[in-house]
Structure 1
Amino acid sequence: MNAKMIGSTLTSFVGEVSEASKQDIQDCLLYAQLYADRGRTSGPWTWLSNYQYALFSLGFSLKAYIVEQPLLISDAHQVRDYKVQVAGMGSSERLANLLGVLFDSLHLERDALSYLNEPPIASHATHYQCAPCERTQQGELVVFVCALQLSCTPHDKNPALTFVRLNSKGGSFQFDAAVYAAMKNEVQDVIRDFTNTMIQNVEL
């Protein structure tokens, strides 16, 4: 399966998505990456909030959101069965299946094992993000932004005891090409110097 790493976001498409629509969504995701990178990060999910804010400004609307369900990990194999729970409309079985494929490419199990075997002295977290996209049977373009955080936190009273957790946030966004059209030239001006260095083809 072909995919792309757009900044720090792994994305791929399912369904009949035209090349023009793929390019528009790719441009939007890169713009959101640049916007979030330049913003202030005062908390573990601030970067994601900035990223989503940029998407809203480009004609994306939230149709469903991920319900936070932190998973306490005692065995690295647990990440294989991690599922995100979604509230609202806008997700599909195809996107869920593609999300699972993208998860497998993020090395979550390897990183969880590293935290369990060699926990850092201070609290530490690793962040991942994927954004599978599809054109639904109703003709809507949907991007499912899923941010993952794998964290390792030492116990307050017993530093030898650490807690490894996996959590997710994000949601399903519908893309409105007509709204984006008014900002397309501005977006392309912003991302022009970054497309060659921040977009890579990936084979899953």
Structure 2
Amino acid sequence: MSSRNDTLLMGNNLVSFEASVSRSLRDDILDCLLYAEHSANKKHDRSLHWKLWIEQYQRVLYQNGGRLTGAINADQLIIQHIRELRYVPYAIAGSATSRELQAVLERSISKLLDSSHARTFFNSWFSSGRSESFQVIPCCANEGGGVSILVCGLQMTSRAFKPGPVAWEAGGDLTIRSNGGSFLLSEESYQPYRERIRAHLARQARQAILEL
């Protein structure tokens, strides 16, 4: 990878990899995250039962090679503008946020807010009483050869909506709920699940093509 970290927007997941994460492990992690999302979607409607959804998402990671190493603070805070999201990492620091993961989390959120994707993403739902959720997932290499993965789930609900000159500048009381944890995944721990998950994702892709 050419930069200090590589950040990908995958649906409602903002995934960041430190440059030291190998290509093969990066592919394994992306497959596992996508599989976790499919599995959580089958169990729960994230718009109605977000807490159950994000807990199922993490459970699937744990059941498919991810060793749980910590948890972020399940907290609730209120901000006035979307741009204040960059302060969220300091509010949710818990046993999951090592110094390395904290740094990648901060850079990930800053990169999201500075991107055109953020304007598109938030402008599509920003209205009073609307709720949306997404995951910020920084990943960094572990000294033992695996990868530390932080799942930072955030649910945002807008209240007391105040229109701005453009949607991006709108404000109000934005309630943010956090839930997540850190996991350690290695090629060895993921190996028993790799082919089954790849086969599942391939079937899902074929089905999506047929439905078109």
Whether TM exceeds 0.5 here: the answer is yes
Aligned residues: 183
Look up the equivalent residue of 1:139 and give its one-letter code. G
Structure 1 residues not aligned, in runs of 5+:
155-161, 199-204
Aligned counterpart, 2:178? 168
**1:97 maps onto 2:97 in alignment:** no
The DSSP-based 3-state class of the residue aligned with 1:97 is helix
Q: Which of 185, 195, 199 pairs up with 1:189?
A: 199
Q: Deviations over 1:43-93 (max 9, x none)?
A: 2222211211111111112111111231122355433322243333x5432
Q: Deviations over 1:5-56 (max 9, x none)?
A: 3342111211522211111111111111111122223522222112111111
Q: What fraction of aligned residue pairs are identical, expressed as a percent?
A: 24
Aligned counterpart, 1:150? 156
Q: Is the alpha carbon distance of 1:183 and 1:44 closer, same or farther for their aligned partners in structure 2, counting shifts above 3 Å?
A: closer
Q: Which of 83, 92, 95 pairs up with 1:85?
A: 92
**1:60 maps onto 2:66 in alignment:** yes
Q: Tell me how far apart the structure 2 counterparts of residues 9 and 75 of structure 1 sit (CA, whole Å).
A: 21
Aligned-residue CA RMSD in angstroms? 2.9
Aligned counterpart, 2:16? 12
Q: Tell me how far apart the structure 1 counterparts of residues 192 and 108 of structure 2 sit (CA, whole Å).
A: 32
Q: Which of 120, 137, 140 pairs up with 2:143?
A: 137
Aligned counterpart, 1:38? 42
8 Å Cα contact 1:7/1:30 also seen in 2: no
Q: Tell me how far apart the structure 1 counterparts of residues 203 and 138 of structure 2 sit (CA, whole Å).
A: 25
Look up the equivalent residue of 1:180 and give its one-letter code. Y
Q: Which of 154, 166, 189 pairs up with 1:179?
A: 189
Aligned counterpart, 1:157? none
Quote the offset at 1:107 in angstroms.
4.5
The DSSP-based 3-state class of the residue aligned with 1:68 is coil
Aligned counterpart, 1:71? 77
8 Å Cα contact 2:12/2:133 also seen in 1: no
Q: Is the alpha carbon distance of 1:173 and 1:195 closer, same or farther for their aligned partners in structure 2, counting shifts above 3 Å?
A: farther
Q: Is the alpha carbon distance of 1:78 and 1:16 closer, same or farther for their aligned partners in structure 2, counting shifts above 3 Å?
A: closer
Q: Tell me how far apart the structure 2 counterparts of residues 195 and 5 of structure 1 sit (CA, whole Å).
A: 19
Q: Tell me how far apart the structure 2 counterparts of residues 141 and 147 of structure 1 sit (CA, whole Å).
A: 19
Q: Tell me how far apart the structure 2 counterparts of residues 76 and 40 of structure 1 sit (CA, whole Å).
A: 27
The structure whose residues are more often helix, as a share, is 2
Quote the offset at 1:141 in angstroms.
1.4
8 Å Cα contact 2:132/2:156 also seen in 1: yes
Structure 2 residues not aligned, in runs of 5+:
161-171
